[in-house]
Amino acid sequence: MMSTSAYGTWPSPIDARLAASHDGRPEFVGSVGDEVWWTEPRPTEAGRRALVRRRADGTTESVLPVPWNVRSRVIEYGGRPWAGADRADDGPLVVFVNFADQRLYAYAPDGSDEPWPLTPVSAVGGGLRWADPQLRLDRGEQGEVWCVLEEFTGEAPTDVRRVIAAVPLDGSAAADRGAVRELSDGRHRFVTGPKLAPDGRQVAWIAWDHPRMPWDGTEVMLGDLADDGTFHNARRLAGGPEESVPQVEWTTDGQVLFVSDRSGWWNLYRADPHRGTVALCPREEEFAGPMWRVGLSWFRPLENGLIATIHGKGTTTLGILDPETGELADIAGPWTEWAETLAVHGSRVVGVAASPHSAYEVVELDTATGRTRIIGAHHRDEVDPAYYPAPQDRVFTGPDGREIHAHIYPPRSPDRALPDDELPPYVVWAHGGPTGHAALVLDLEIAYFTSRGIGVAEVNYGGSTGYGRAYRNRLREEWGVVDVEDCAAVALALAAEGTADRERLAIRGGSAGGWTTAASLTGTDVYACGTVSYPILDLTGWGTDETHDFESQYLESLVGPLAEVPERYRARSPINRSDRLTVPFVLLQGLDDVICPPVQCERFLAALEGRGIPHAYLAFEGESHGFRRADTMIAALEAELSLYLQTFDIDRSDVPRLELKK
């Protein structure tokens, strides 16, 4: 029989350790011969990313043992860190970026004992970094790997250049920077890896410059390939300052495919030499997303001329597009979110997908039969799924009547009836980015709260991706205003309709979501407490020299030019509004974070000294931007829950009590 007990006191089998063990998702799928490979998180192995291999017989194994960590730091958020090729009788060859030293390594898992380095170490600034590698076994005697090179030229985070480069596979560049050949001319600040035309005579890549972010404006560059492998006659094919192109590919017959938001939505186009640029499936849907990392993929051309593409509005699915007719056939299945990674091999398409009832899995579609199957990272219900939340995809009305998209996760437990005499506490989750998106998928961190009787509202505030360019442009020069207003509007609407307890509302977020959380706590009276993780707290500092190169001019569009509106930077920064903070909070920070450095947290706490505001500051050694180690995630999640229990006066003894200082 179901019993009734107060919200927040419900027992749950989903503890912090279980939630932490399922943090992260498979990424960067690819085919190596008849095998499928991808990277996968290992929270209990110091947060490393493992390279996983699925053999043709269906068995899977980790290609590299601890401590190898396949992860790039190009633009700090990284990018595709590996590439592989099948060498017939010699077996597969893989090249990968090792996180610890950021060097490129080569490895023949069926023949060599250890990986061997391909690139040197530089002592200048952040050194040499690599991303989006592509094997060219036909270049030179031993072959080459073409990739993005990020090279620091000084000690400042903005002393950096990026080019497309060729690294010899014979290891001759392992101690010799001069053996690395630069292929592009270095005219752009940012580049992606090159895509080679089927005839081997042209290459295409994407480039952009400060102060634009890649979702603001990028250019598709087309170059001729000289006999020595360098690029010549580079010219713009598509894109511009107000047109974002996040992916470009070649068809098997030598035409260029790309995604552009020139219509207001990221749609697929073909650059036809006779008819010009042709829209292949014009819809008010997104066929791509923000390029936060180098080497993401939302579509792949198939050998038969069809195109596998991820698309949707808010949620996404995988479809097969006939570019001649515009007909788009979606696959069957429960998945509501496909990650930005696709691979094709023959008639097979492989991606990574999740649903409200399952975490991210590696999914294969056979286009010849239309059948799908899960081939890796299988979701397993380690607890009764009745403890999972049942999300609601909703649209709220914000200031000026604008739409706000959100996912609402009410409290849910199979053995607890909802109390008649109280409303549940709710926590608003503000996602990062801010050009990000909260996906409608199973997240055990959310279930950690909902299964205990605390609701969660994930808000895709103005500025989020997934709803067209106009929706994400709402945040231009309005960061700290629109995001704060939209989160508050959802929270107050839930209270007004009787879904949430108005007196027990909280907010949490990390990175840009940490900014929105801190800006909300210092700018509204909506919330009783908040959890602020690796945040931005001082716009002036972050907009000058306290972040990395990729986002060093992001505030030009989010807030406005610093030289023109310095007072706006000061007025919106939580560090300058600390006198308005009146509620408890917990601050979580990685000490190795170069994107949102700990110095901002330290200054914020110093500004609060003597104010008597209950708070806790947890700083974690070995963690950078976003937590990856299981012990860190456990401590962070339990600290967050303890904050809510204390603030909402909920009595339970199975959670370590967080010491709140004043």
Q: What is the pLDDT of residues 515-559, one digit of tens each?
A: 999 999 999 999 999 999 999 999 999 999 899 999 999 999 999
Q: Give the separation between CA 369 and CA 459, rounded to whole angstroms.
A: 38
- According to the model, what pLDDT value does residue 114 have? 92
Domain boundaries, the chain: 3-16+389-647, 57-182
pLDDT at 441 exceeding the cut of 70: yes
CB 431 within 8 A of CB 437: yes
pLDDT at 19 exceeding the cut of 70: yes
Q: Classify the phi-psi angles of 155: left when phi > 0, otherwise alpha if psi is within -120 to 50, otherwise beta.
A: alpha
Task: Name the phi and psi angles at 376, rounded to 5.
Answer: -165, 160
**Helix locations, 102-259, DSSP H:** none
| Paired sense of beta strands 455-460 and 426-430, if any | parallel
Q: What is the pLDDT of residues 557-594, one digit of tens each?
A: 999 999 999 999 999 999 999 999 999 999 999 999 99
DSSP string, 531-600: EEES----HHHHTTTSS-STTTTTHHHHT--TTT-HHHHHHH-GGG-GGG--S-EEEEEETT-SSS-HHH
pLDDT at 112 exceeding the cut of 80: no
- According to the model, what pLDDT value does residue 273 have? 67
**What is the token pair recorded at 9?**
């006191």
Q: How many CB atoms lie within 10 A of CB 368?
A: 10
How many helical (H) and strand (E) elements, i.e. helices and strands, does the chain have? 10, 39
Identify the three-state secondary structure at position 348.
strand
The burial of 57, by beta-carbon neighbours within 10 Å (0-12 exposed, 13-18 middle, 19 or more buried), is given as: exposed
- According to the model, what pLDDT value does residue 95 have? 98
Kindly report the CA angle at 579 between 575 and 584, in degrees rounded to 5?
85
Which runs of E-coded beta strand occur in 226-266? 231-239, 247-250, 256-260
Q: Give the separation between CA 354 and CA 350, rounded to whole angstroms.
A: 13
CB 407 within 8 A of CB 464: no
Q: How confident is the model at residue 88 (pLDDT cuts 50, 70, 90)?
A: confident
What percentage of the chain exceeds 70 in pLDDT?
Answer: 100
CATH tag for 3-16+389-647 (out of 3.30.1950.10, 3.30.1490.20, 3.40.50.1820, 3.40.190.10) = 3.40.50.1820
Q: Give the separation between CA 98 and CA 494, rounded to whole angstroms.
A: 46
- According to the model, what pLDDT value does residue 23 have? 81
- Mean pLDDT for the stretch of residues 276-285: 95
133: amino acid identity, one letter: P
pLDDT at 22 exceeding the cut of 90: no
478: amino acid identity, one letter: E
Element (H or E) spanning 521, and its range? helix 512-521
Q: What's the number of CA atoms in the CB half-sphere (13 Å) around residue 13?
A: 11
Q: Give the separation between CA 202 and CA 122, rounded to whole angstroms.
A: 32
Predicted TM-score (pTM) of the model is 0.96
The burial of 294, by beta-carbon neighbours within 10 Å (0-12 exposed, 13-18 middle, 19 or more buried), is given as: buried
Q: What is the pLDDT of residues 360-379, one digit of tens each?
A: 999 999 999 999 999 999 99
- Mean pLDDT for the stretch of residues 45-59: 95
CB 275 within 8 A of CB 252: no
pLDDT at 275 exceeding the cut of 80: no
- According to the model, what pLDDT value does residue 536 have? 97
Q: Give the separation between CA 487 and CA 229, rounded to whole angstroms.
A: 51
539: amino acid identity, one letter: L
Identify the three-state secondary structure at position 195.
strand
Q: How confident is the model at residue 1 (pLDDT cuts 50, 70, 90)?
A: low
Mean pLDDT of all residues in the chain? 96
**Residue carrying structure tokens 């920077």:** 177
- According to the model, what pLDDT value does residue 446 have? 98
HEC letters along 26-44:
CEEEEEECCEEEEEEEECC
Q: What is the pLDDT of residues 190-216, one digit of tens each?
A: 999 999 999 999 999 999 999 999 999
Residues in the chain, total: 662
Q: Give the separation between CA 192 and CA 148, rounded to whole angstroms.
A: 6
234: amino acid identity, one letter: A
Q: How confident is the model at residue 169 (pLDDT cuts 50, 70, 90)?
A: very high
